[in-house]
Amino acid sequence: MVPTLKFAVFLLALFAFVDASSAEKDFVQCEKIVREWARSALEEEIEGDGHTLQDLLFFLHVPRTGGRTYFHCLVKKVYGAALECPRSYDKLRFDPRKPKCRLVATHDDYSIMSMLPREKTSVMTVLRHPVDRVFSAYEFSVEVASRFLVHPNLTSATELTKRIRAKHKGVSTLDIWPWKYLVPWMREDLFARRDARKMKGLSYVNSNDSYNVEEMAMPLHQFINEPVVLDTVHNGATFQVAGLTNNSYLAEAHDVRHCVQKFTILGEHVLQVAQILVNLAEEVGQYAICWSH
Ligand SMILES: *[C@@H]1O[C@H](CO)[C@@H](O)[C@H](O)[C@H]1NC(C)=O
Ligand SMILES: *[C@@H]1O[C@H](CO)[C@@H](O)[C@H](O)[C@H]1NC(C)=O
Ligand SMILES: *[C@@H]1O[C@H](CO)[C@@H](O)[C@H](O)[C@H]1NC(C)=O
């Protein structure tokens, strides 16, 4: 017994050693990947020519910043429907082939610039305090998903999706990143909680305690730790401005993001790039920033 135990301890120690050194190697490799990306991301930035609006305006919509209101009530009014690129808003993968349009708005991240004439494009975005943005993403996920609860079974959820699509001319929140991941996932969770309440003989539409609704909806502390949320909500605005979201057009973006998610200290480099892009933009008039409250 005793020698076996010793052996096991020895093996464990060995594994721990191997593990530590491979993690170190991972870190070194990740640091290289992130640094290289940061260098090239800033190299690509071209000199602007003052505060002039370029031929094409790309409205980079960071979810839950009031961007939709800002876009529809102001930007779109200024440009007029004729200049808007077709299906540019709320249609995930923007099609840049249509010539002559001057206004693009999407939830796509900054990497879409790789498909646009960079020197002829201005970028505009709205930023918001990250904590408020995450709270709002939680609230919105629950709100949109709970619309499906009026239909008592999952089959009708599919029907409802179809109906919403028809109402919004083929595009809806359910097609847009990141909601296309967050809403169906939250919907499943709401249905599961509803079914659990039904099984217990509880009402599934009312709760006696408004401050304890865990039986009805996922609490925030659970939401923020879920993989889908880690993938699409955490550091969302920074990743969007840097072109590194889980929805990025650039193949290398995913390695960079995974490295940063694994070794959070490397996030400094991403934040730095995002801040430089934003500051540079304010100087050269490429990136107009509004703070939403
Ligand atoms: C629930 O689903 C079943 C099976 O698809 C369907 O027959 C039924 O009409 C649905 N109920 C409601 C209220 O939509
Ligand atoms: C909740 O309210 C209902 C109706 O007022 C009541 O019958 C029930 O006992 C309450 N349940 C709890 C857990 O307080
Ligand atoms: C983005 O996130 C969603 C939700 O977690 C996931 O299903 C999808 O595969 C991710 N895409 C990439 C490119 O990582």
The Cα–Cα gap between 46 and 22 comes to 39
- Both tokens assigned to 163: 């109906």
pLDDT tens string 222-255: 999 999 999 999 999 999 999 999 999 899 999 9
114-138 pLDDT tens trace? 888 888 888 888 888 889 999 999 9
Model confidence at 260: pLDDT above 70: yes
Q: From the CA of 248, give the closest atom in ligand 3.
A: 13
- Type of residue found at 229: V
**What is the rounded average pLDDT for all residues in the chain?**
79
Provide the pLDDT for residue 8. Answer: 43
Q: Best substitution site from 182, 231, 233 to test ligand 3's pocket, by max atoms within 8 Å of Cβ?
A: 231
For residue range 194-205, what is the model confidence (pLDDT) as tens digits?
888 888 887 766
Protein residue closest via CA to atom 14 of ligand 3: 246
22 CA to centre of ligand 3 in angstroms: 26
pLDDT over 60 (residue 22) = yes
Cα distance from N-terminal residue to C-terminal residue, the chain: 66
86 pLDDT band, cuts 50/70/90, is: confident
257 or 147, greater pLDDT: 257
Which alpha helices (H) appear in the chain, and where do they start and end? 2-43, 67-70, 76-79, 130-146, 154-167, 179-199, 220-223, 227-232, 236-242, 251-262, 267-284
Of the given ranges (65-74, 88-97, 183-192, 267-276), which has the lowest mean pLDDT?
A: 88-97
**142 Cα: distance to centroid of ligand 2 (angstroms):** 24
Dihedral angle, C-alpha 186, 188, 189, 192, nearest 10 °: 160
pLDDT digits (tens, 9 = 90+) for 139-182: 999 999 988 887 655 555 566 666 666 665 556 777 788 998 99
pLDDT class for 212, splitting at 50, 70, 90? confident
pTM, two decimals, is 0.78
Question: Is 288 strand, coil or helix?
Answer: strand
